[in-house]
Structure formats: structure tokens, C-alpha cells
């Protein structure tokens, strides 16, 4: 046995070291894995994701709609249950797999839950249990299992509210030795003991913060507390869904993790074991319990005889790798092969583990589909089962319609296809070949050169070849906008890969975005990495997304919705872009991004009040603003953000026009020009292209997008006419593109790079994502990569030039009035003008969508304003009708629909994010 292991280590080690060396010659011999490919399935069967990774999963793949989050194998080994995380991402409930045939027996078996997490069989296999929620209520579903493995819902138990109020958020479920159900109550910070016959919660055992996973070992149960230990005197803490958690005083990310040991005879915690940060799933082999610590990139080994950590294993898919692999599940293949799923790497790492006194060696990597989250053993067929939450991406059914005589297929980022990988237990050769694939899929070949030390005596260029070498560019502006696809804005551009039939905010609405796309590089193959704001802002500012927030997204954000900020568990331990800048002495100023509120002593007022304030600040109207500048201040929960944030600049709020944001930015920028002290990195959140639907008192969707277009155009104009233009670059992205359809992929967005140092009037169809944009900012400012994702991303060098054109940009005036408000006597006039025959039916439809928007207005403006509190599918329909006409069906619908009809669509079934009031 030892000879076989040694051979495996040798062969895999050769493959890994060869890849790691990554000399220029090696890199040149490897094909560019991305090139001009578009996101989606490729001709060779691989799938390109919007996170700079190809997917080439090993073994047999079973694909199905939704986001699988947990696997359980029946005690007889013949079937497995794979549970989707939510109901509105293309799937619903359970998928049952016949392990003998490798085929689905049941697909999207409905449990009448909106969010789901845990699944477990009874000890005799006659029942199956699942946890989740319906609306605000946590649930446990009990199913009976037929001889062929088919489930039937027997009963559903309601769980009480959390001690902090709202949804108790039940996660992992396991069956105890007496048949009792053990459920991690995530928002209650407790472990529930439930009688499966009656649903009675016989005990709620307090553990530590945010319990997630459960492991039963005889009469003891181990519970991972992903939110870590309870605070102590002197700790820096931030609220996470009603619980104060301990955080890093700089980055604001959680910094502790624990495992609670529960005696099932007394139902009391007997010990709390410190482990790595954000511990999740566990496994047991003999007396040892292995714990995956997602934010530490480690596995803790606990000796169950002493309940002490006897070993901490560093998880590094390649030597000297940065953090960010996100190990999230562990299994033991035999006595000494430890399997660790790496969520952010799309792989399973195989280690040779020879006990706690010897450092395990990495034997190799096996590729999975996108974002593996759980593993199980199919012992009879000698296969590893891997649940891939994001599977193959947004490849679900397209919304097809004939519009303007053209049949188009619009893709939404929500049409997710998850998968189950069925991987034969790997041989030495499998590991060698698998490692090569994982390296290629993640663009790791040549990684050493890509992150090489800077050379001395290098002349400055626009985009340095190495981080730390001098750049002609000294100042970076990073503008984050809201949720529009490429086709929605630039589909009518007349060049590039656009589809005008689904363009909603064309040249008449967005003259500046069209001019910028025509003047500077047109990027028609650029993707956001997040699916909605809670994940999107993390990708935009961190170059990654934590395993916690990815799973929150995949399970309906019951715990929290950090649409920018608002939950320290969503923050990566490697920090945000501004943390990296501060660490390396690069000056930063923030305008709105990742702020959580905007508060002051005066009455907040209406959109009209803030619009009039803009007119006064810009000199177009006399008098004082209804709120003096500076009285309202942006709030934040990330400690490092406070000192660098310009607090008079508003956060997300549809009652504040982007023209006001521009005026606040302009004042501060002109001060920097006067004082010659402009920070090197400037981040801005410009939000109103999100729109407020057809809510009365707010501008029409066209007017709000025009407001956003004009504000960004003015910002570019202002910067380009300043002394700083000669050494500046402006990067413009969105946090996500969920509020529309795109004929290529729902993640494709209109992005821009603007500078004297970029090539003009070119179309660049190279595959890029926001991670490349983050890497480009780092490359220019001399910031080393933060994590594994941006370390592997290439800077956008090919669109830069060392022959600058200093011609300033002249902003285009808006072509529609910015104060065209919904709810006026001419409400919906613009949309009805697009309606070929303004019938009583179309007017009635317009009125009902106005009524729906008004009911939800409080989530878009004022003290409750937060991105995406309103279901995106509902808002997308409202905006579609308001822009395309009330006689034009939303793509995929057979006719224009009333709000109550759209509400019946599967993608409209999710509860409001983190609605725990």
C-alpha cells in the first residue's frame, strides 16, 4: 500500500511542480484558455463561467435546474437525494438519483419550500428529512421512501422564530442515535433536538454563532459555528443578522471559528473547540474528525477522544498559493486519502494523510463543475459524488420571443443549471491528468511569471508588465453602476455583438454610454461575476466571493442580504480592494460603495426635493437645499471604510438622483484639484440605473437610466478637463446584470475603460470579467493580488497604449427630461407611446404595474432602501413594459401579464432577501 501511495505522490507531484514552474516558455506552450470565447458551453463540451474559469468536470455529470446544496446517500447505497438550495433559480426541491444506473429518478420533487439546505435519511432508510423555509418560517419536511427510493411528503413541521426574531434559518440536519433529528438553527445560535414523529422541539441547545453543520459520533454531536465564538472584552464586533460576531478590526471580516461538542444524553455543550475561520462541513475517520475551514483555507483535525485539535492542514492547491480556495467539505476515501472540495477552485483535492503527526501531501486535483459544495461516497460503485451548486451556470431555458420581427433568445442570470459529478475513485493517472485540467481551467500555468517580482530600472508604461513596475497612470477611478445587461443598453450600437430587439435603454436614453462605447474600447464580451447585489459587490470589490455568501445566494439569502455591505460573514479574509491599497500605502477615497445607509436630522424628503437640491447645488435654481450638504452622512459596517469614505455622498437610494451624487463628487474633486491631493484610488457607486419601476413620485425607468447616463458622462467630462486627466484611468462596471436579458448570457454587461492611455474606436471581444478589471487596477497601482482569483486573472493590457490621446471627453446632454415622473397625469405616457394601439387593456395593465411598484416603493427609497429587496423578475417585467410598450410580451411570455400573473412564475417565488422582521 505504501508503495502505491508513494508512486501516486511522485506522479502527481511531478505534474504539480511542472505547472508551478510556469516559465515563459511553459506558459507560451499552453493555449489561452479563454481567448474570445463567450460564456457558456463550448464546442468541446467545456463550460466557460463568468468568474475566469473553465469547467471540465471529471466523471459522469447529471445536470438539473437549480442550485444543489446538499447530498445524502440512502443507507442501502442504491439512491441519493440531492437538495436544491432555492426554488427560483431554475429548479425546485429534491432530485433523486439512481446510483446503479446513474440517472435521475425524480427531478425537482417539490417540498413547498422557498429555501432549502439540509437533507438526511433515517437510520433505517424509510424516511427522508429536509430543512428549509417557506416565506419567513423555518420548516422540517418529513418524507416516506418507497422501496425504489421515491419520496412522498408525509408531513411538514413549522419551527419557531429565532430568538433575535424572524426566520430561524434551519441548515444542516442529522439523525441522532435514538432517531431524533438534530438541526443547526443558524439565526438562533442553537442546535435543535426534534421528535420526528411529532415535530416537537424537545430541546434547543445554545451553541456559538451561526451554527451550520452537524456530525454525530455516538452519543456526541459536533456543530460547526461559522460565525465563530461569542465576543469577549476588547473584541471588534459587527452585527450579522442580529448577532454580534467577532471581526478583523481592519477588514471587518469574521476572524474566528469554533466547534461545539454536545452530549446527547444531557443535551448540553461539554466543550467548545477553536478551529479555523468560518468552519463548515465535517467528516469522521476512526477517532478523528476533520473540519473544513473555508475562510482560513485549512482543515482542522480533532481527536474525538480528547476533543482537541491535533493538526491543522494548510490547503494549498499549488505551492505558495494565496488564500481563496475555499475548502468547504471533507471526506475520507480510505484510511489515508483525505478529499477536500475546493469551492472557488472547482476541484477536489486529494491528500495522503498518514495521521496527525505527519504533514499530509497533496496527491493531486480532480476537476468538478462550478462551485462544489458537498460530497458523499457511492461505495458500491466506487464513486465520489459531488454537488456543484452553480453547475454549468446560467444555461437554463432561454426566454424566446419574436420582437420587431426578429426571434431572439434572452438569457437571464437566474436560469441556473446545477449538477452532480459522479467521479470514479481516482487512480494515480487520474490525479495527474486531473491536476493538469484544474491548472488549465483556472489559468494557473505561468502563474509564477504573471506574479513575478518587479524588475529594476524599467521605464514607466501605461499598463506595467509586472505588479510594482512603474505606470504612466497614477490615478484610478472605479465606478460601480447597477444592473443592466449589455443588450439592454448597447444592443443598438450598430457594432459589436448586440441584439437591438431586446434593447431597452438605447441611444436616446443613454447617449453618453453610446458615445463612450464608440470613443473608447468597445468591450462586447465582458461579464459581471455575481448573480445579484449581495454576491456582485463582493466580486467587484474583493475579486472573489466567500463560500458563505455564495451559498447565501444559492439558498435565497435568508440570513442576510449584504447588497454592498451589511454582513461581516460575507467579507473575504483577504480584504477589499481599498484594504489592499491601504496596506501598500496607496491613498483611497470612497464615494458610496459598500455603505449601508444615509441618515441625517432633517426629514428625508422626496425625489423631487433631492432633485431640487441638485438644481441648487449646480446653480440652476436659487435658494438653499432642503438638506444642507453634510447633514446627511453615509453609514458603514466595515471598519476600514469609515476613514476613507466621503460621507456626504449618498448610498443606494432611488429617491436621490445621480445628478445629486455627481454634484457631491464634483465638489470634493475640485477641492482635490485645488489642493493637488487627489487620492490614487477613487471608488464610486452610481446607482439610479436600477430604477424604481413605475412607482409614483419617482422618474420613469427611462428617466432614471438617463440620469445615470448623464451623471457618469459628467464625471468623465469633469475628470478629462482636469489636470489629472493626463495620468488617470476610469474603469466602469456593474455589480451584477440581473435586471434584464442578454442574447449571449445573463452576466454580460456594458463595461467601459476610459483614459488617454487606452486605444480608441476599437472593438475588443476578448473575454473579460470584473476580476480582470480588479487585476488591472492592482497592476496599475502596484498592488499585489489579494487572493487566488485575481492572482490568476490577466490585466487588460491589450486595450492600453503607450501613445496617449489627451483629447478630453465632452458629455452629451440628456435627450429626455430627467424629471419625467411616474404617477403624474401623463404617467406611463412614454411606455404607452410605444404601444401600437393604446387600448383600455394596455392602460389597465399600466395602472396595475404602477400599483405594484407603489406597494414596493419603500424598498427602493428611504430608510428601507436596499438593492434587490424586490424580486428581480417582477421589477424586470415592470421596466420591460415601461420601455417596450404594454402590448409587448416580456420575452418568454405569450402575452403581456398582470403583476399577479407574473407572481405565479417560478422565478418570482423567492421571499424578499433576508426579510426577517
Using one digit for the tens of pLDDT, what is the confidence trace for 638-657?
A: 999 999 999 999 999 999 99
Give me 112's grid cell. Answer: 413547498
Asked if residue 639 belongs to a domain, the reply is yes
Do 776 and 873 sit in the same domain of this protein? Answer: no
Asked if residue 517 belongs to a domain, the reply is yes
Among the listed residues 859, 868, 869, 856, the one whose alpha carbon sits nearest the alpha carbon of residue 899:
856
| Number of structural domains in the chain | 3
Exposure class string for 362-386: b at 16+ Cβ within 10 A, else e? bbbbbbbbbbbbbbbbbeeeebbbb
418/70 Cα distance (integer angstroms): 12
Do 753 and 846 sit in the same domain of this protein? Answer: no
Chosen domain end from 257, 274, 291: 274
Given a cut of 50, the residues of the chain with pLDDT beneath it are 1-15, 17-30, 827
Do 571 and 469 sit in the same domain of this protein? Answer: yes
Do 639 and 744 sit in the same domain of this protein? Answer: yes
Phi, psi of 664 (to 5 degrees): -65, -45
CB 389 within 8 A of CB 418: yes
Do 849 and 775 sit in the same domain of this protein? Answer: no
Cβ within 8 Å of residue 417, ≥6 positions away: 63, 64, 65, 66, 90, 391, 392, 393, 394, 395, 396
Among the listed residues 448, 464, 520, the one whose alpha carbon sits nearest the alpha carbon of residue 720:
520
- Helix-helix angle 872-884:701-720, to 10 degrees: 90
**pLDDT of 30:** 42
Do 556 and 705 sit in the same domain of this protein? Answer: yes
Do 782 and 852 sit in the same domain of this protein? Answer: no
886/843 Cα distance (integer angstroms): 8
Chosen domain end from 230, 256, 274: 274
Q: Per-residue DSSP letters for 772-807? A: HHHHHHHHHHTPPP-SHHHHHPPP-GGGB-SS---P
**pLDDT of 24:** 34
Asked if residue 40 belongs to a domain, the reply is no
CB 611 within 8 A of CB 657: yes
Exposure class string for 13-49: b at 16+ Cβ within 10 A, else e? bebbeebbebeeebbeebeebbeebebbeeeeebbbb
Asked if residue 838 belongs to a domain, the reply is yes
Chosen domain end from 234, 250, 274: 274
Do 790 and 838 sit in the same domain of this protein? Answer: no
CB 223 within 8 A of CB 191: yes
Asked if residue 682 belongs to a domain, the reply is yes
Which residues are bridge partners to 47 per DSSP? Answer: 41, 55
Kind and range of the H or E run holding 210: strand 209-217
**pLDDT of 671:** 98
Kind and range of the H or E run holding 539: helix 533-542
Q: Which residue has the cell 483611497?
A: 588
Give me 859's grid cell. Answer: 424598498
Asked if residue 24 belongs to a domain, the reply is no
Distance from the Cα of residue 230 to its chain's centroid: 27
Q: What is the CATH number of the domain that holds 262?
A: 2.120.10.30
- What DSSP designation does 814 have? P
Do 515 and 580 sit in the same domain of this protein? Answer: yes
**pLDDT of 2:** 35
Do 612 and 745 sit in the same domain of this protein? Answer: yes
**pLDDT of 606:** 93
Q: Which residue has the cell 496596506?
A: 583
Asked if residue 370 belongs to a domain, the reply is no
**pLDDT of 856:** 84
Asked if residue 878 belongs to a domain, the reply is yes
546/455 Cα distance (integer angstroms): 33
Range of the domain at 548: 450-799
CB 145 within 8 A of CB 154: no
Burial of 671 (0-12, 13-18, 19+ CB in 10 A): exposed
**pLDDT of 853:** 86
475/728 Cα distance (integer angstroms): 5
814/123 Cα distance (integer angstroms): 67
Strand stretches in 159-200, DSSP E = 170-175, 181-185, 190-194
- What DSSP designation does 149 have? S
Residue 382, CA distances (Å) to 59, 95, 246 in order: 12, 21, 42
Do 648 and 767 sit in the same domain of this protein? Answer: yes
CA angle 144, 147, 153 (to 5 degrees): 20
Do 541 and 627 sit in the same domain of this protein? Answer: yes
Q: Rg (Cα) of the chain, in Å, rounded?
A: 27
Amino acid at each position: 500500500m505504501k508503495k502505491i501511495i508513494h508512486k501516486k505522490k511522485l506522479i502527481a507531484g511531478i505534474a504539480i511542480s511542472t505547472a508551478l514552474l510556469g516559465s515563459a516558455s511553459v506558459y507560451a506552450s499552453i493555449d489561452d484558455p479563454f481567448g474570445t470565447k463567450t460564456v457558456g458551453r463550448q464546442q468541446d463540451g467545456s463550460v466557460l463561467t463568468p468568474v475566469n474559469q473553465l469547467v471540465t468536470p471529471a466523471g459522469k455529470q447529471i445536470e438539473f435546474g437549480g442550485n444543489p446544496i446538499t447530498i445524502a446517500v440512502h443507507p442501502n447505497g442504491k439512491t441519493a437525494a440531492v437538495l436544491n438550495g432555492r426554488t427560483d433559480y431554475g429548479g425546485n426541491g429534491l432530485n433523486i438519483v439512481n446510483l446503479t444506473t446513474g440517472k435521475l429518478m425524480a427531478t425537482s420533487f417539490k417540498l413547498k419550500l422557498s429555501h432549502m439546505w439540509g437533507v438526511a435519511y433515517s437510520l433505517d432508510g424509510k424516511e427522508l428529512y429536509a430543512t428549509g423555509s417557506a416565506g419567513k418560517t423555518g420548516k422540517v419536511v418529513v418524507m416516506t421512501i418507497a422501496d425504489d427510493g421515491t419520496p412522498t411528503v408525509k408531513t411538514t413541521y413549522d419551527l419557531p422564530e429565532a430568538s433575535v426574531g424572524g426566520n430561524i434559518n434551519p441548515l444542516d440536519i442529522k439523525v441522532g442515535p435514538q432517531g431524533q433529528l438534530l438541526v443547526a438553527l443558524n439565526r438562533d445560535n442553537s442546535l435543535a433536538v426534534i421528535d420526528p414523529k411529532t415535530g416537537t422541539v424537545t430541546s434547543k441547545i445554545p451553541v456559538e454563532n451561526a451554527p451550520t453543520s452537524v456530525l454525530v459520533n455516538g452519543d456526541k454531536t459536533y456543530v460547526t459555528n461559522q460565525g465563530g465564538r461569542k465576543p469577549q472584552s476588547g473584541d471588534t464586533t459587527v452585527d450579522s443578522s442580529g448577532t454580534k460576531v467577532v471581526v478583523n478590526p481592519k477588514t471587518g471580516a469574521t476572524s474566528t471559528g469554533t466547534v461545539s461538542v454536545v452530549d446527547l444524553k444531557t443535551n448540553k455543550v461539554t466543550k467548545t473547540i477553536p478551529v479555523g475561520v468560518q468552519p463548515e462541513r465535517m467528516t469522521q475517520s476512526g477517532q478523528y474528525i476533520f473540519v473544513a475551514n473555508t475562510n482560513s483555507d485549512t482543515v482542522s483535525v480533532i481527536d474525538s477522544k480528547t476533543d482537541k485539535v491535533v493538526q491543522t492542514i494548510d490547503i494549498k492547491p499549488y505551492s505558495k498559493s494565496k488564500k481563496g480556495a475555499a475548502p468547504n467539505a471533507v471526506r475520507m476515501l480510505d484510511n489515508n486519502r483525505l478529499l477536500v472540495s475546493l469551492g472557488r477552485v472547482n476541484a477536489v483535492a486529494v491528500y495522503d494523510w498518514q495521521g496527525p503527526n505527519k504533514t499530509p501531501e497533496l496527491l493531486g486535483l480532480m476537476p468538478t463543475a462550478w462551485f462544489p459544495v458537498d460530497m458523499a461516497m457511492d461505495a458500491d460503485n466506487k464513486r465520489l459524488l459531488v454537488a456543484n451548486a452553480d453547475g454549468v451556470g446560467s444555461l437554463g431555458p432561454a426566454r424566446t420571443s419574436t420582437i420587431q420581427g426578429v426571434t431572439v433568445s434572452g438569457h437571464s442570470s437566474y436560469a441556473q443549471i446545477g449538477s452532480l459529478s459522479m467521479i470514479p475513485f481516482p487512480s494515480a493517472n487520474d490525479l495527474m491528468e486531473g491536476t493538469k485540467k484544474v491548472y488549465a481551467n483556472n489559468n494557473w500555468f505561468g502563474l509564477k511569471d504573471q506574479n513575478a517580482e518587479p524588475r529594476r530600472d524599467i521605464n514607466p508604461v501605461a499598463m506595467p508588465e509586472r505588479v510594482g513596475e512603474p505606470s504612466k497612470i497614477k490615478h484610478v477611478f472605479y465606478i460601480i453602476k447597477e444592473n443592466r445587461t449589455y443588450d439592454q443598453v448597447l444592443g443598438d450600437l450598430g457594432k459589436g455583438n448586440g441584439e437591438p430587439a431586446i434593447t431597452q435603454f438605447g441611444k436616446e436614453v443613454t447617449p453618453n454610454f453610446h458615445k463612450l462605447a464608440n470613443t473608447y474600447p468597445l468591450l462586447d464580451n465582458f461579464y459581471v461575476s455575481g448573480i445579484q447585489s449581495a454576491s456582485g459587490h463582493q466580486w467587484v470589490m474583493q475579486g472573489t466571493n466567500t463560500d458563505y455568501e455564495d451559498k447565501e445566494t444559492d439558498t435565497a439569502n435568508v440570513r442576510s442580504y449584504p447588497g454592498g455591505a451589511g454582513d461581516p460573514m460575507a467579507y473575504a479574509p483577504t480584504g477589499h480592494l481599498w484594504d489592499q491599497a491601504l496596506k501598500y500605502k496607496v491613498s483611497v477615497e470612497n464615494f458610496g460603495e459598500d455603505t449601508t445607509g444615509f441618515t441625517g436630522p432633517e426629514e428625508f424628503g422626496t425625489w423631487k426635493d433631492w432633485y431640487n437640491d441638485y438644481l441648487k447645488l449646480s446653480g440652476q435654481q436659487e435658494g438653499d437645499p432642503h438638506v444642507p450638504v453634510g447633514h446627511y452622512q453615509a453609514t458603514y459596517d466595515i471598519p476600514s471604510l469609515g476613514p476613507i469614505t466621503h460621507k456626504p455622498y449618498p448610498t443606494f437610494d432611488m429617491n436621490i438622483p445621480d445628478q445629486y451624487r455627481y454634484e457631491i463628487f464634483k465638489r470634493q474633486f475640485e477641492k482635490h484639484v485645488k489642493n493637488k491631493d487627489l487620492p490614487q484610488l477613487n471608488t464610486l457607486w452610481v446607482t439610479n440605473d436600477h430604477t424604481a419601476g413605475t412607482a409614483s413620485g419617482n422618474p420613469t425607468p427611462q428617466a432614471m437610466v438617463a440620469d445615470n447616463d448623464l451623471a457618469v458622462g459628467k464625471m468623465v467630462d469633469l475628470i478629462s478637463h482636469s489636470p489629472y486627466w493626463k495620468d488617470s484611468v476610469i474603469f466602469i462596471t456593474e455589480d451584477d446584470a440581473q435586471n434584464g436579458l442578454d442574447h449571449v448570457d445573463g452576466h454580460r454587461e456594458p463595461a467601459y475603460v476610459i483614459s488617454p492611455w487606452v486605444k480608441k474606436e476599437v472593438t475588443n471581444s476578448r473575454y473579460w470579467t470584473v476580476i480582470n478589471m480588479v487585476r488591472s487596477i492592482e497592476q496599475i497601482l502596484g498592488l499585489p493580488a489579494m487572493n487566488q482569483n485575481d492572482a490568476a486573472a490577466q490585466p487588460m493590457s491589450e486595450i492600453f497604449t503607450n501613445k496617449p490621446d489627451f483629447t478630453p471627453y465632452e458629455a452629451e446632454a440628456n435627450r429626455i427630461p430627467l424629471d419625467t415622473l411616474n404617477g403624474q397625469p401623463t404617467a406611463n405616457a412614454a411606455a404607452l407611446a410605444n404601444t401600437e394601439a393604446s387600448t383600455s387593456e394596455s392602460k389597465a395593465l399600466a395602472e396595475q404595474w404602477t400599483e405594484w411598484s407603489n406597494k414596493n416603493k419603500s424598498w427602493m427609497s428611504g430608510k428601507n432602501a436596499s438593492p434587490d429587496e424586490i424580486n428581480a423578475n417582477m421589477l424586470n417585467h415592470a421596466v420591460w413594459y415601461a420601455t417596450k410598450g404594454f402590448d409587448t410580451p416580456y420575452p418568454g411570455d405569450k402575452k403581456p401579464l398582470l403583476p399577479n400573473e407574473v407572481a405565479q412564475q417560478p422565478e418570482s417565488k423567492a421571499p424578499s432577501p433576508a426579510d426577517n422582521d
